[in-house]
Amino acid sequence: MWCWEEWYSMSATSVKNGVVDSSRWVSATELAEQIRTGQRSAVEAVDEAIARVETLDVHYCAVVAPLFDRARRRALAVEPSAPFAGVPILLKDAGEELADTSMWVGTQGLMRAGHTSRTTTVLAGRLEELGFIVIGKSACPELSASSTTEPPGFPPTRNPWDLRRSAGGSSGGSAAAVAGGLVPIAHGSDGSGSLRFPAALCGVSALKPSRGRVSTAPAAGSQDPLNLWTQFAVARDVRDLRALFQHLALDHQRTGPAMSALRCGVLDSDPIIGLSVDPATVLAVRTVAGFLEAAGHSVEESYPTAFDDLFEPFWQTTQTIGPWVRASQVAWVAERLGRPVVDGDLSASCLEQAKRGRSIPETEISQALKRVADAMAPVQDWWDDHDILITPVTLEPAWTLGQDPAIRTGMFAA
């Protein structure tokens, strides 16, 4: 089993057939520039990424479905003027789809059936229009519904910094692939932490855009009445996230006034559930706050005090909305399979939760959604006087595989 010192010793370069692969740690924007100026071809960039997957992913289990032949064909025909022409990327195996490619969403039933997508979704198509070459699908938990990527029937996705530990979820495959140097950037999605959890655990960067900024498709036909799901990416270089946002945001203004000093609040404890925060996590929050203060921004001990009253409405609503969402996902799987879902297609716990969800009256669903909306409304007032709230992402750093992730994440990313 690797440890981070062994992994880091490989980090400067990797070797492919005796040749140093210097593109392993190049950012997406840098790689696009190399391809644009002829220093490297799109085919070379894709072949190098494929070689890294074939060599290294046996350790990470980040790529659940390779699309190598398709990627090589597209690299030969990529539009050279596209902003990310030839840059290899992974597409999370949930929500966004590419026609005629595998899509399993971490489920044994769809995997055994060899399920493929019928159409290409808007965002997946847009990524390819930008010149990205999808070399494979990244792993996610069953129905993209966990903060660790350990779906039944699939190998667990491992954290490149320590293969004994979780890469997080639900975009765990994407974060592990980026942290391990397989690709410079990878697609992911986030409802209540699914991009941010794995990015934090794997030491890479992520952004969950505000609602409505990027075209999105919830995972596995999920009901999303609160409009929580967002699609974006993880990357090693935050400049890649900025560049991608400029191309994907539906109403992004490329120019604007210079940013003035930010008004920042700091929260390093858990006011909602009251669980303890690991000292290493507290130190990380304090370090970020110190950097911002040193850069001239205003930093104070402040957070929306309405958080203190969120536990009860969130807990009650979770017991209602969770099973209801799971029922819609199981129905989606059945529709994709073309038959009823049976034991073995999905985990027993998932099927049991969906069964409960099908019996919940619509009036109860409506009441639960209203409770959440009413509880969250006072939180917005705090933002009238603040720009940023600095918090942990999870309660603790990456935990050992096989442990219950629910008590290790908390509600910071909700």
Give the catalytic positions in this structure: 92, 170, 194
Nearest to 273 by CA among 304, 317, 312: 312
For Cα atoms 191, 195, 196, give the angle at the middle one, nearest 5 degrees: 105
What are the tokens at 266?
A: 């700091």
> Is residue 340 left, alpha or beta, with left meaning phi > 0 and alpha meaning psi from -120 to 50?
beta
Q: Which amino acid is at 246?
A: Q
Q: Which amino acid is at 183?
A: V
CA dist., res. 52 & res. 13, Å (int): 11
What are the tokens at 279?
A: 């000292």
Give buried/exposed letters for 292-302 (b at 16+ CB in 10 A, else e). Answer: beeeebebeee
Q: Is 117 exposed, middle or buried (0-12, 13-18, 19+ CB in 10 A)?
A: middle
Q: Which residues face 14 on adjacent strands?
A: 21
CA dist., res. 312 & res. 319, Å (int): 11
For Cα atoms 278, 280, 285, give the angle at the middle one, nearest 5 degrees: 95
What are the tokens at 387?
A: 């720009």
Find how far residue 318's CA is from the centre of its chain: 21
Q: Are 356 and 318 in contact (CB under 8 A)?
A: no
Q: Whose structure tokens read 């505000």?
A: 210
Neighbours of 9 (CB within 10 A): 8
The number of CA neighbours under 13 Å toward the Cβ of 154 is: 32
Residue 84 backbone phi and psi in degrees, to 5: -120, 35
For Cα atoms 308, 311, 316, give the angle at the middle one, nearest 5 degrees: 150
